[in-house]
């Protein structure tokens, strides 16, 4: 029997579940789908949607799929950890990161609004611990019932930093699964333009029950 890891790939605006062990090709003319170098993740970049899809097999017969905006991601995954994914993309005038983790102490349904306020406070504490001054933050704004974002602006050692953080939360049998995507830059207009795309990518974060192949 073989267990199939799955990842999410955009196709014509939809979501397609694909075995990580299947070959992927260029497909339609002008559409590029190619593997992305990673460690234990299955990762592919698709030019049509300008997105990088990632899949990872977890414990308890689960697999996760996630979608990152754009290309050029450095991806590191771990199967036996509370931090399943760290991805980074260093681009001109900005820096993007994404993490997927689990809080095993949280079981069952959650109060999304209270959880969002807690994440906002953690971000504020992290910036203040770095010596941030003139910190300004938005309240959490929900994109859906389980995803939200917070924008902030601060000065660190005289350098202006603006940042948007987008989260999605999924209660699961192993605890509260959390995806966080972060975009840091010096130009707030760049972040505003990217919030929608980041939100759409984070919205695709999902868990799957793995089916056994005989």
47-77 pLDDT tens trace: 888 889 888 888 777 888 899 988 888 888 8
Q: Which residues does residue 167 pair with via DSSP β-bridges, in sequence order?
A: 148, 180
- Quickly list H helices, the chain: 112-129, 188-203
For the record, the structure tokens of 156 come out as 């660190």
Q: What is the pLDDT of residues 79-126, one digit of tens each?
A: 767 999 999 998 878 899 999 999 999 998 999 999 999 999 999 999
- Provide the sign of the torsion angle of the four alpha carbons 190, 195, 200, 201, taken in this order: positive
Residue 111, CA atoms < 13 Å, CB-side half-sphere:
4
Highest mean pLDDT among 82-96, 123-137, 182-196: 123-137
At 120 the three-state DSSP class reads helix
Of 131, 132, 149, the residue nearest 140 (C-alpha): 149
Rounded Cα gap, residues 112 and 95, in angstroms: 27
Tell me the pTM.
Answer: 0.79
Q: What's the distance, CA 51 to chain centroid?
A: 11
Query: Encoding tokens for residue 52?
Result: 């990088």
Query: In the prediction, which pLDDT does 18 show?
Result: 33
Token pair of 119 as six digits = 């994440």
Of the candidates 108, 103, 102, 72, the residue with the CA atom closest to the CA atom of residue 87 = 72
Task: Find the radius of gyration of the CA atoms of the chain.
Answer: 18
The dihedral over CA atoms of 31, 165, 116, 5, expressed in degrees to the nearest 10, equals: 40
Do the bridges between strand 175-185 and strand 94-103 make them parallel or antiparallel, or are there none, so unpaired? antiparallel
From the list 39, 107, 101, 50, the residue with the least C-alpha distance to 74 is 39
Cα 43 to Cα 172: distance, rounded to the nearest angstrom: 23
For 118, other C-beta atoms within 10 Å of its C-beta total 12
Q: Is the dihedral of CA 88, 9, 12, 46 positive or negative?
A: positive
Task: Specify whether the CB–CB gap between 85 and 99 falls below 8 A.
Answer: yes
Average pLDDT, the chain: 79
Residue range 12-53, pLDDT digits in tens: 322 233 333 333 444 455 556 555 655 577 888 888 888 898
């Amino acid at each position: 029997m073989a267990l199939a890891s799955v990842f999410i790939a955009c196709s014509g605006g939809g979501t397609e579940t694909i075995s990580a062990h299947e070959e992927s090709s260029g497909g339609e003319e002008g559409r590029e789908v190619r593997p992305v170098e990673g460690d234990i993740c299955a990762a592919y970049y698709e030019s049509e949607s300008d997105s990088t899809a990632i899949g990872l097999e977890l414990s308890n017969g689960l697999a996760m799929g996630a979608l990152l905006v754009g290309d050029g991601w450095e991806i590191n995954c771990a199967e036996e950890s509370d931090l399943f994914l760290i991805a980074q993309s260093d681009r001109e005038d900005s820096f993007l990161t994404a993490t997927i983790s689990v809080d095993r102490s949280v079981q069952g349904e959650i109060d999304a609004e209270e959880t969002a306020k807690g994440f906002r406070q953690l971000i504020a504490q992290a910036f203040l611990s770095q010596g941030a001054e003139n910190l300004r933050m938005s309240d959490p704004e929900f994109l859906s019932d389980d995803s939200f974002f917070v924008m902030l602006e601060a000065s660190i050692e005289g350098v202006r930093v603006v940042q948007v953080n987008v989260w999605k939360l999924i209660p699961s049998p192993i605890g509260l699964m959390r995806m966080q995507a972060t975009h840091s830059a010096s130009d707030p207009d760049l972040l505003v333009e990217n919030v929608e795309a980041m939100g759409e990518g984070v919205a695709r974060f999902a868990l799957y029950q793995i089916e056994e192949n005989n």
